[in-house]
Amino acid sequence: MKLTRRYRFAASHRLDVPALSAEENRKLFGKCNNPFGHGHDYVLDVTVEGSPDESGQVVNRREMDALVGERVLARLDHRNLNEDVPELARATPTTENLAAAIRKMLQNNWDLPARLKSVRISETDRNIFELEAK
Amino acid sequence: MKLTRRYRFAASHRLDVPALSAEENRKLFGKCNNPFGHGHDYVLDVTVEGSPDESGQVVNRREMDALVGERVLARLDHRNLNEDVPELARATPTTENLAAAIRKMLQNNWDLPARLKSVRISETDRNIFELEAK
Amino acid sequence: MKLTRRYRFAASHRLDVPALSAEENRKLFGKCNNPFGHGHDYVLDVTVEGSPDESGQVVNRREMDALVGERVLARLDHRNLNEDVPELARATPTTENLAAAIRKMLQNNWDLPARLKSVRISETDRNIFELEAK
Amino acid sequence: MKLTRRYRFAASHRLDVPALSAEENRKLFGKCNNPFGHGHDYVLDVTVEGSPDESGQVVNRREMDALVGERVLARLDHRNLNEDVPELARATPTTENLAAAIRKMLQNNWDLPARLKSVRISETDRNIFELEAK
Amino acid sequence: MKLTRRYRFAASHRLDVPALSAEENRKLFGKCNNPFGHGHDYVLDVTVEGSPDESGQVVNRREMDALVGERVLARLDHRNLNEDVPELARATPTTENLAAAIRKMLQNNWDLPARLKSVRISETDRNIFELEAK
Amino acid sequence: MKLTRRYRFAASHRLDVPALSAEENRKLFGKCNNPFGHGHDYVLDVTVEGSPDESGQVVNRREMDALVGERVLARLDHRNLNEDVPELARATPTTENLAAAIRKMLQNNWDLPARLKSVRISETDRNIFELEAK
């Protein structure tokens, strides 16, 4: 059985690849390259998989919320992804790289009884990224 | 081709495992253990899989709605899951157990031409459970 | 300027008017009269009105959340409206009476600088009730 | 990594299988067989799969939007599916056949670096169809 | 107290003013002038106003649904607004004229105890029209 | 008749009142005071009021979209409200001040036949601000 819990966070970012020229970055990212950045209300869905225990639960909701809250939301919510999150500053904070960073934050030392199955993140409701856990 | 139809029902429940003490239940389920129960507007997505027939349909919508209506909604909508649904009273009506009960209600003697693929149920939009049909 | 903040709570209830017979109650409320009750995820919108202060805010969000949380959500969330909320037990917990009870909970000794303008509550997204503050 | 982009279009249609009698069509499709047609706001989710390139993107959003816009939206948006889309006129414009037609429009000569993974289309939020790319 | 109930219907239409030339109509309505029409999933919110009766209800939900169902939905759902609704054929079925037609359908001989307050209709979630009852 | 059209834009901001100390700003705005800013997907509803003209429209949609697009969206979408919008830099970019700035952008030399009625802006779906046009 799969259980998905939904979380939200607000963050800002600017898309800019250092190896490219200003002109190439503008062409590649359009408005997302605007110098002072912009922001989004991200929606994060974390899916775990397992069998219900004797209390009828695949995972304890409070334990899962605490883990996601501490490892992900406390580092990303109301933050600037370029300035406040070292791994994204190095990698350009596209939503693809953000999804990969969140998977890594969750996957390292994942210690809940249910298995981490996938991470899905929406930048807006028109743009949804999904990444299976390794 | 997969076709998902969405249904809704309103129900109440109380989470309490008889084998645990009052204190353990309160700690495990928090507010969900409140003595007189609470309720939700559940969203149920039933997914079937098959090939379109000569009329261009994977399944006849009215037949599928009749089957889900009779086996699931008539038994759960505007009901108390602890008192009105025997299999859930025995199993603690967590959404995990509710999902398993709904899959069983649908799977026994499933007689539509399209194959039952999965059952997904949301307790709120922050809590989504998905179960593949066996 | 009007500011609306949205809150959610889950509760159960049963619609039954003591002055009416069992048959009349069944006819009047249909499935909402089922003996063991059912439940909903209510959405509560509280609207205040005022002018921004020197910090650019009509109301301090934390103060408003604390007031609504203490007076309304702590009493209704994960509760049974018939059993846990005395004013609704006496009045039949229709959403109309629930809206009036919430307005009263908020209006008595309202002590935020912004004026309470209205209370809106949705039982489901098909049923929305709105009540101006007196 | 999977990336889903969401598109919308408004179209009208009438469900009627030429090989069946008027009476059989009415029985099969109900109101969807009404002579002058009706319409919907369709939601189309196109999912691609691939690895982020050096700019941190699985696919260039503008290129993907241009391809979907030209091949699908320009042919379906604000159109009558029976009259304006030859492949659907021949096949009865059920959403199943519409999904298959859209997959074909996208799949032929798909020339983006990311692989086309699946097409999902909702006629209303109660009716969702999903088709894997071949 | 105001109570809003939400209804949905699917319909098709074509925007074309007979007094204008083909060229002027194309310029005025763009894609909405396409010859074979297109369609939408309309959302209709009907708001009534009154005081709760002794059962705690502003209006009996079944009576209100029956009235809106018979006068409005039975005439518009799965219909072509140009061909199936005489008053709209004469008036060009813009959503403005549709809103006015629905208000008239409801207002004539309105016989519920609660007062009709307003009618709101969304063509899509980007286009919302509201009309006070006279 | 009132017509509301919905627009969206993504922007970043930081809440900080220059007249207050760092400590007072942190206490007043919490996470919204984080040094490098954060962002949101704002939803903007612009409501106009008028009577349908002979084409059955209160306002020409393209003209209204062009006006809102040029005066508001081009200045705010994918921007940093502190750095890119002079009036908000001076006023602290709370959503209250943002709403007032948008009303001003629209109201000066408003030249559509329908009257500007109100401006409503949501920072997230929990926070909605509404301002009548003067």
DSSP for D60-89 reads: -HHHHHHHHIIIIIHHHTTEEHHHH-HHHH
Band (D128; pLDDT cuts 50, 70, 90): very high
> Once rounded to an integer, what is the mean pLDDT over residues B88-94?
89
> Once rounded to an integer, what is the mean pLDDT over residues C58-80?
97
The pLDDT, as a whole number, for residue F89 is 82
CB A56 within 8 A of CB F12: no
Segments making up each domain of chain F, as ranges: 2-132
pLDDT in tens, A50-60: 999 999 999 99
The DSSP bridge partners found for residue C13 are C38
Residue F125 confidence (pLDDT) above 90:
no
Which chains have 3+ CB pairs within 8 A of C?
A: B, E, F
Residue B13 confidence (pLDDT) above 90:
yes
Calculated CA dihedral for residues D112, D114, D115, D116, nearest 10 degrees: -70
The pLDDT, as a whole number, for residue D134 is 84
Q: F12 at the A interface (CB within 8 A)? A: yes
The pLDDT, as a whole number, for residue D14 is 97
Which DSSP string do the residues of F1-65 spell out, in sequence order? -EEEEEEEEEEEE----TTS-HHHHHHHHGGGG-TT-EEEEEEEEEEEE----TTS-SS-HHHHH
Q: E55 at the C interface (CB within 8 A)? A: yes
Q: Can you tell me the distance from the alpha carbon of A19 to that of F73, in angstroms, rounded to the nearest whole number?
A: 30
Q: Residue F38 is nearest to which of A31, A79, A124, comparing CB atoms?
A: A79
Q: Residue E97 is nearest to which of F5, F45, F52, comparing CB atoms?
A: F52
Residue E52 confidence (pLDDT) above 90:
yes
pLDDT in tens, A87-96: 898 889 999 9
The pLDDT, as a whole number, for residue A22 is 97
The pLDDT, as a whole number, for residue E134 is 84
Cβ distance E6 to C92 less than 8 Å, yes or no, reads no
Among F32, F40, F83, F87, the active-site one is: F32
Rounded to a whole number, what is the distance in Å from the CA of B78 to chain D's nearest CA?
20
Find which of C2, C44, C64, C125 to mutate to test the F interface (most F CBs within 10 Å of its CB): C2
The DSSP bridge partners found for residue E3 are C129, E48
Hey, is F88 helix, strand or coil? Answer: helix
pLDDT in tens, D75-106: 999 999 999 999 898 889 999 999 999 999 99
| Residues of D forming the active site | 32, 78, 123
**Could you give the percent of chain D with pLDDT greater than 90?**
91
> Once rounded to an integer, what is the mean pLDDT over residues A74-103?
94
Q: Can you tell me the distance from the alpha carbon of E30 to that of E12, in angstroms, rounded to the nearest whole number?
A: 16
Band (C134; pLDDT cuts 50, 70, 90): confident
The pLDDT, as a whole number, for residue E2 is 97
The pLDDT, as a whole number, for residue D125 is 79
Q: B89 at the A interface (CB within 8 A)? A: no
The pLDDT, as a whole number, for residue B87 is 84
Residue C90 confidence (pLDDT) above 90:
no
Residues in CB range of F18: below 8 A, 6 or more apart: none
> Once rounded to an integer, what is the mean pLDDT over residues C112-128?
94
Q: What is the pTM of this model?
A: 0.95
* Pair of tokens at residue C102: 């919430």
Band (E106; pLDDT cuts 50, 70, 90): very high
Cβ distance A128 to D62 less than 8 Å, yes or no, reads no
Among C24, C38, C78, C96, the active-site one is: C78
The pLDDT, as a whole number, for residue F106 is 97
Q: Residue A78 is nearest to which of F10, F32, F82, comparing CB atoms?
A: F32
Instruction: Tell me how far the alpha carbon of residue F29 is from its chain's centroid.
Output: 20
Residue B109 burial (CB count, 10 A): 7
Average pLDDT along chain F: 95
Which DSSP string do the residues of chain C spell out, in sequence order? -EEEEEEEEEEEE----TTS-HHHHHHHHGGGG-TT-EEEEEEEEEEEE----TTS-SS-HHHHHHHHIIIIIHHHTTEEHHHH-HHHHHH---HHHHHHHHHHHHHTT--SSSEEEEEEEEEETTEEEEEE--
Cβ distance B36 to C79 less than 8 Å, yes or no, reads yes
Average pLDDT along chain E: 95
Residue predicted with more confidence, D134 or B128: B128
CB C131 within 8 A of CB C119: yes
The pLDDT, as a whole number, for residue D19 is 92
> Once rounded to an integer, what is the mean pLDDT over residues A72-76?
98
- From the list C62, C49, C66, C134, the residue with the least C-alpha distance to C100 is C134
Q: B39 at the C interface (CB within 8 A)? A: yes
The pLDDT, as a whole number, for residue D91 is 86
Q: What is the CATH T-level fold of the domain E2-132, as seen in this structure?
A: Tetrahydropterin Synthase; Chain A (3.30.479)
Band (B125; pLDDT cuts 50, 70, 90): confident
The pLDDT, as a whole number, for residue E87 is 83
> Once rounded to an integer, what is the mean pLDDT over residues E87-101?
92
> Once rounded to an integer, what is the mean pLDDT over residues F16-38?
95
Q: Residue F17 is nearest to which of C3, C5, C55, comparing CB atoms?
A: C55
Hey, is D11 helix, strand or coil? Answer: strand
> Once rounded to an integer, what is the mean pLDDT over residues C23-38?
96
* Pair of tokens at residue C121: 């509550």
> Once rounded to an integer, what is the mean pLDDT over residues F110-118?
96
ipTM of the complex, rounded to two decimals: 0.93
Strands (E), chain D: 2-13, 38-49, 79-80, 115-124, 127-132
Longest dimension (CA), chain A: 60
Residue D31 confidence (pLDDT) above 90:
yes
Instruction: Tell me how far the alpha carbon of residue A56 is from its chain's centroid.
Output: 29
Cβ distance F97 to C6 less than 8 Å, yes or no, reads no
Give the position of tokens 């704002």: F42
How distant, in Å, are the alpha carbons of C101, E12, E44, E69 from that of E77? 37, 9, 11, 10
B87 carries an active-site annotation: no
CB A12 within 8 A of CB A98: no
DSSP category for residue A30: G
CB A17 within 8 A of CB A90: no
> Once rounded to an integer, what is the mean pLDDT over residues C127-133?
95
> Once rounded to an integer, what is the mean pLDDT over residues C62-88?
96
The pLDDT, as a whole number, for residue D97 is 96
Residue E89 confidence (pLDDT) above 90:
no
The pLDDT, as a whole number, for residue D21 is 96
Residues in CB range of D92: below 8 A, 6 or more apart: B55, B56, D15, D16, D17
Calculated CA dihedral for residues E47, E52, E56, E60, nearest 10 degrees: -50
Band (B119; pLDDT cuts 50, 70, 90): very high
The pLDDT, as a whole number, for residue F91 is 86
